[in-house]
Amino acid sequence: MRILGIDPGYAIIGYGILEYDGARFQTVAFGAITTPAGKPFTERLDIIYRDMCTVLDTYRPDCMGIEKLFFNTNQKTGIDVAQARGVTVLAAVQRGIPISEYTPLQVKQSVVGYGRAEKKQVMEMTRRILGLSKVPKPDDTADALAIAICHGHSSKSQRLNLR
């Protein structure tokens, strides 16, 4: 199964693509879609959409895991992230890719085994699980890989529950 993990944002959108056979993960690719701060917001959304379409068409994932949004104290930032997340989800939906959402707590629990783990712990465990020599940068990319790992673990447990 080829999994695309997404860490949503509007300045930086992390993505990570993994192959998962139910036992082992293999890293296919990872990176970040970035948008220039000086551009109008609608142009930034267009960049995100087009670049996400390129990622989807290049790597052809079977499924996508994305971080569930939660609003912090800055509602404008939350709304902007939600809009950017929307164009990301749209690109996947247009290609018939099933999407699952995960909270940060679920990702931490899946990757580290503890839902209140520190970000640094999640990044290090992501590196170890994937056998990478160093933690991917920017952080959004490492987060996206952690989300993909969480989705792999989640889909495996869902398959086990069906038997």
Among all residues, which ones are annotated catalytic? 7, 67, 140
Contacts of 41-45 with CB under 8 Å at 24 or more apart are: 41/10, 41/80, 41/83, 44/10, 44/84, 45/10, 45/83, 45/84, 45/87
For the chain, how big is the Rg over CA atoms in Å? Answer: 15
Q: Around Cβ 133, how many Cβ atoms within 10 Å? A: 5
Q: Exposed, middle or buried: residue 163 (CB in 10 Å: 0-12, 13-18, 19+)?
A: exposed
Q: Cα separation of 97 and 99, whole Å?
A: 6
Q: Cα separation of 85 and 67, whole Å?
A: 9
8 A C-beta contact, residue 33 and residue 47: yes
